[in-house]
Amino acid sequence: MKVTVKVPATSANLGPGFDCLGLALPIYNTLTIEETVLPGTGVEINLMSEGDNIDEMIFDNVPKDENSIVYKAVEMLYNSIGQEPSELRINIQSQIPITRGLGSSASVVVGGLIAANKLLGSPADTTALLSIATEVEGHPDNVAPAILGGFVMSSREDDGSIITEKLNWPEEWDITVCIPDFELSTNIARSVLPESVPLQDAVFNAKHLAMLIQAINTKDVKLMKNALHDRLHQPYREKLIPGMKEIMEAFIHEDNVIGTVLSGAGPSILVISHKYDLDKIKSTVRSIWESLSIKSDIRTLKIENNGAEIIEG
């Protein structure tokens, strides 16, 4: 038996929502797990890139054995019901760029868990899968929208429970995803963050996160434009991402550009707009990065309201 799962890309943080906000995007990884019949073969993981994927060169550095995060997630699921993983073949068809802040690791964790759960007869519910995925990833901001779809706020509580809530992203707000051709690992992006921040910066983000939630609920463009500011992670990560400061400054005075934020840990950038010239956004970002000899893939996308889906099995 084999099971195939399609999982959307995700973008976390959205400015002030550090480690607690995330949205799903219509770029997908497709993961297939099947139990093999040959004893002693262990786990076999195959990574395949679709189309003109700029990440093929770094596939060689992705673990393809028991050290892979997808296998670790599957193993945790098996162990949770008192079993050990059988001989497994895991195929990952990749469309989501790796190490670009678009939830590529969350997608394979979620895909592996959902596929393995189906193979096992679905012993785990969504809450349990979300808990295991969060344990593997460290926080739920990417795995929650990968599982649930849409725009999700999430929190891992002190007792280990995961709280999630889906919000209705305004359909008229466009998201232009700007993906540069250089990678930035989450570990490096995390390493530049301070262990503590000034109280005024924590208060600043709390205020702006509250504004953001209200702006989305009321579709208030003006309030959202004010809300998308952050002092907890973006100022520290800016030095790791050539052109980020220039891209953000390019749209400050454009009325219908709601805001520009880092996608997850970066280096991808989201430009959120309302009734604005999308070609102008793309040409502006592309021009800034080209001046720094950086190639880019820039797409305007709608939020993917469906989370991970079983498409075979």
Both tokens assigned to 201: 């910066």
Q: Within 10 Å of residue 38's Cβ, how many Cβ atoms?
A: 9
pLDDT tens readout for residues 237-250 = 999 999 999 999 99
How far is Cα 61 from Cα 47, in angstroms, rounded to an integer? 11
Which class would CATH give 2-168+303-312? alpha beta
Check residue 61 and report its DSSP letter. Answer: G
Q: What's the pLDDT at 291? A: 98
Average pLDDT score over residue span 186-195:
94
pLDDT confidence of 53, banded at 50, 70, 90? very low
In the numeric block, the tokens 């001046």 are attached to: 291
Q: What's the pLDDT at 35? A: 85
How far is Cα 97 from Cα 27, in angstroms, rounded to an integer? 9
Average pLDDT score over residue span 300-305:
96
Q: Would the pLDDT of 52 be above 90?
A: no
Question: Which phi and psi angles does 146 have, rounded to 5°?
Answer: -65, -35
Domain map (residue ranges) of the chain:
2-168+303-312, 174-301
Q: What's the pLDDT at 43? A: 80
> Are the C-beta atoms of 68 and 111 separated by less than 8 Å?
no
pLDDT confidence of 66, banded at 50, 70, 90? confident
Q: Which residues pair with 272 in a beta bridge?
A: 175, 259
Q: Would the pLDDT of 60 be above 80?
A: no
Give me the half-sphere count of Cα atoms (radius 13 Å) on the Cβ side of residue 297.
17
pLDDT confidence of 178, banded at 50, 70, 90? very high
Q: Which residues pair with 138 in a beta bridge?
A: none
Q: What's the pLDDT at 188? A: 94
Q: What's the pLDDT at 288? A: 98
pLDDT tens readout for residues 208-238 = 999 999 999 999 999 999 999 999 999 999 9
Question: Poorest-confidence range of 35-39, 92-96, 98-102?
Answer: 35-39
Q: What's the pLDDT at 59? A: 47
- Measured over the CA atoms of residue 131, residue 132, residue 135 and residue 141, the dihedral's sign is negative
Average pLDDT score over residue span 25-48:
84
What average pLDDT does the chain have?
92
At position 156, the amino acid (one-letter code) is: R
Q: Would the pLDDT of 16 be above 50?
A: yes
Q: What's the pLDDT at 50? A: 65
CATH code of the domain occupying 174-301: 3.30.70.890
With 0-12 CB in 10 A as exposed, 13-18 as middle and 19+ as buried, what is 60? exposed
> Are the C-beta atoms of 79 and 132 separated by less than 8 Å?
no
Bridge-based pairing state of the strands 88-94 and 43-49: parallel
Whole-structure pTM value? 0.92
pLDDT tens readout for residues 149-164 = 999 999 999 999 999 9
> Are the C-beta atoms of 275 and 256 separated by less than 8 Å?
yes
Both tokens assigned to 253: 């005075």
